[in-house]
Amino acid sequence: MKHPWIAGKWHKVRRPAIPVVNPATEETIDCIPRGNAEDAEMAVRAARAAFKTWRWMPGVEKAALLHEIARRIRARQPALARLMTLEGGKPFCENRDEVEWSAACFDYYAEIGRHSRGNSIPPVFAHQVNFTIKEPYGVVVAIVPWNYPLLLMAWKVAPALAAGNTVIIKPSSETPLATLALADAFSTLPAGTVNIVTGSGEELGAALIRHPGTDLIAVTGSVETGQRVGALCAEQIKKVHLELGGNDPFIVCSDANLEIASRAACWAAYLNAGQVCTGAKRFYVFDAIADNFTRGIVRFTRSLKLGSGLNPTTDIGPMIHLRQLEDVHARVQDAVGQGARVLCGGRRSPKFKKGFFYEPTVMADVNQDMRLVRTETFGPILPIMRVQGMDEAIEMANDSAYGLGANIYTNNMEWAMKAMERITAGTFWINDPLSDNDAAPFGGMRRTGHSRELGEEGLDEFRETKHVHLDYKQEIKPYWYPYSRYNRLTS
Ligand code: NAD
């Protein structure tokens, strides 16, 4: 049984246990406490106390500590990656990448936080000085999903700390272990600067949001979770960052290199068993090349190996839990019932006695109104729709409630730029899906949310702007209030 890590110590609380299950074997690998309002209270107290010192620590010192966190994360890379595979199912090699990206994010914000500069504002009168300073909000609550537990934690915690906030992390109950294993990395900070508590979103998450001692809630999760978290924050008039579900389109134009585009399409659809927010989930293929493209996709999909993420030859691991697998399968069946065809896959793999393995699935004769396409399908499904040209592809891509990312494969600059300008999405990938860059903002439009992580924008999300106005002649300007009776006092 694990325990919450608060004010630099493990707290042995007595709470009901939540099992952490290995999705490849269905075995319970550990348990975490189902934290409640008491845990929230302890964590908030610790974070508030630490905020008094952390916010004033000079930027160079903060930077050194953030670099040290990065170093400690890297030093534990294989062990962390293995733990992430055990609790989340993602192949070990992909988790090694995730650990490295998480460390890199701390390095990035160590530097960005230290070098960030303010701005001066032209004053109205000569003897005035106007400028802005950036201030931390206070205590940030980072609520993290299971699909990229360390990376999405780092995208919140690193900029929040660099901006001078203290943090309470609430990992997903599916994948809390790797985050708890980072307590040692965070112990380089003054006690209470980072705290880790575990429990359900509805109980512990809501207690943290409602607590008057928390100032900013940063959540990555589904649209439904975002709605609930957003509503709670609205009641408190509390700042909230929402990074929610996606349903990214992937357009393949008639001039695309089909060998490259079909491999990229499979990568974008099946990475992490299709459980990626920016995974491609709707494929719009120009009619002229649709048959060739589909053949390539099916051939490549059949060559992918499903299995335990600990096996070095595995391409696709299990899905996170049975609910997720059943949800995806129900969507596939629902589409088939409406005329869609399964070209390969389309079922829970019969090769495994245990584990939540779903075969990578290619589907044709799919349409826009099927639930499979209309709402986010979080699994290894690649649904293909034919389009007659660029205008139709853009229209179909935009026919969505989401706006996280969008992809195109073409060498035609006019098509690429037209699609880029017209498709509503926070990131537009041309001939290279799924790539992130620590220095580039990441986030969604429409119901996917409205904040940005990474880049300088990602730091700004954790800072308030204060305007400073100074008049070194200490003059009250009657001409500034020409109609005010107040002028009688000064003239
Ligand atoms: P989820 O919404 O079920 O849970 C996310 C987190 O929110 C968990 O820690 C959960 O405990 C917490 N939570 C749930 N209800 C809550 C509540 N009422 N109050 C406070 N906290 C609450 O999501 P998930 O299943 O863990 O992750 C998958 C979803 O996340 C998908 O929809 C995916 O697209 C989305 N996602 C989005 C991004 C992005 O950057 N936009 C990145 C990764 C995942």
Q: Are residues 169 and 256 in the same domain?
A: no
Q: Are strands 463-471 and 216-220 parallel, antiparallel or unpaired?
A: unpaired
Same domain, 224 and 289: no
246 CA closest ligand 1 atom index: 34
Last residue within a domain, chosen from 412, 430, 448: 430
Q: Whose CA is nearest to atom 30 of ligand 1?
A: 221
pLDDT in the model for residue 175: 98
pTM summary value: 0.97
The pLDDT assigned to 486 comes to 62
Q: Are 88 and 187 in the same domain?
A: yes
> Are 352 and 395 in the same domain?
yes
> For the segment 265-298, what is each residue's pLDDT rounded down to a tens digit?
999 999 999 999 999 999 999 999 999 999 999 9
Contacting residues for 221 by C-beta, under 8 A, at least 6 apart: 143, 145, 201, 229, 243, 244, 245
Instruction: For ligand 1, pick from 153, 169, 211, 222 the residue to mutate: most ligand atoms within 8 Å of CB.
Output: 222
Q: Which of 102, 105, 141, 143 to mutate to test the pocket of ligand 1 (most atoms within 8 A of CB)?
A: 143
How far apart are the CA of 146 and the centre of ligand 1, in A?
A: 8
Q: Residue 490 above 60 pLDDT?
A: no
Cα–Cα distance for residue pair 259/282, rounded to 1 Å: 19
> Are 354 and 382 contained in the same domain?
yes
Distance CA 288, CA 286 (A): 6
3-state secondary structure of 469: strand
Q: In this predicted model, what pLDDT tens digit does every residue of 300-325 receive, in sequence order?
A: 999 999 999 999 999 999 999 999 99
- In this structure, which residue's CA is closest to atom 10 in ligand 1? 201
> Do 59 and 133 reside in the same domain of the chain?
yes
- Candidate from 34, 147, 174 with most ligand 1 atoms within 8 A of CB, to mutate: 147
DSSP state of 304: P
Asked if residue 334 belongs to a domain, the reply is: yes
Q: Is 153 helix (H, G, I), strand (E, B) or coil?
A: helix
Confidence of residue 491 (pLDDT cuts 50, 70, 90): low
Task: Identify the weakest region by mean pLDDT among 63-77, 109-123, 253-267.
Answer: 109-123
| 335, 371 contact by CB (below 8 A) | yes
Q: Does the residue 257 lie in any domain?
A: yes
- CATH number for the domain spanning 189: value is 3.40.605.10
Q: For residues 149 and 145, give the distance between their C-alpha atoms in angstroms, rounded to a whole number.
A: 6
**Residue 96 — φ and ψ, nearest 5°?**
-60, -45
By CB neighbour count within 10 A (0-12 exposed, 13-18 middle, 19+ buried), where does 25 fall? middle
Cβ proximity of 186 and 142 under 8 Å: no
* Positions marked active-site: 243, 277
Detail the DSSP E strand segments found in 247-349: 248-252, 280-286, 341-344
Q: Which residue has its alpha carbon closest to ligand 1 atom 42? A: 277
Task: Give the mean model confidence (pLDDT) for residues 156-164.
Answer: 98
185: which 2 tokens?
A: 């990395």
Beta strands in 289-396 (DSSP E): 341-344, 361-364, 381-387
Output the pLDDT for position 473. Answer: 87
What residues does ligand 1 touch, defined as CB less than 6 Å away?
143-148, 152, 170, 172, 200-202, 205-206, 219-222, 225, 228-229, 243-246, 277, 376, 378, 404, 444, 448
What mean pLDDT do residues 113-140 have?
93
Query: Residue 126 has what pLDDT?
Result: 85
| CA nearest ligand 1 atom 14, residue | 201
The pLDDT confidence band at residue 336, using thresholds 50, 70 and 90, is: very high
For residue 446, what pLDDT band results from cuts at 50, 70 and 90? Answer: very high
The pLDDT of residue 118: 84
What mean pLDDT is predicted for residues 189-217?
98
Q: How far is the CA of 194 from the centre of ligand 1 (A)?
A: 20
pLDDT tier at 477 (50, 70, 90 boundaries)?
low
113 Cα: distance to centroid of ligand 1 (angstroms): 27
pLDDT at 474: 80
Same domain, yes or no, for 217 and 146? yes
Which CATH number goes with the domain that contains 350?
3.40.309.10
8 A C-beta contact, residue 246 and residue 404: yes
In-domain check, residue 350? yes
**Looking at residue 254, what DSSP letter applies?**
T
pLDDT value of residue 117: 86
Question: What is the structure's pLDDT at 419?
Answer: 98
Per the structure, the complete domain to which residue 21 belongs is given by 5-243+461-468
Ligand 1 centre to CA of 286 (Å) is 34
Residues 257 and 171 in one domain: no
Same domain, 132 and 178: yes
Q: How many domains does the chain have?
A: 2
Final residue in a domain of this structure, among 430, 445, 476? 430
Do 84 and 149 share a domain, yes or no? yes
Segment 367-387 mean pLDDT: 98
Ligand 1 center from residue 464 Cα (angstroms) = 25
Average pLDDT, the chain: 96
Q: What span, in angstroms and rounded, lies between the C-alpha atoms of 394 and 387?
A: 10
Structure tokens at 178: 């790797």
Say whether pLDDT at 401 is over 70. yes
- Looking at the fold, whether 154 and 206 belong to one and the same domain comes out as yes
- Does 93 share its domain with 208? yes
Residue 259 CB coordination number (10 Å): 10
pLDDT at 488: 60
Atom number of ligand 1 nearest to Cα 222:
32
Q: Going by CA atoms, what residue is nearest to atom 40 of ligand 1?
A: 243
Q: Is the pLDDT of residue 69 over 90?
A: yes
Q: Is there a domain that residue 219 lies in?
A: yes
- The verdict on residue 443 lying in a domain is no
pLDDT over 90 percentage in the chain: 94
Is 445 a member of any domain? no
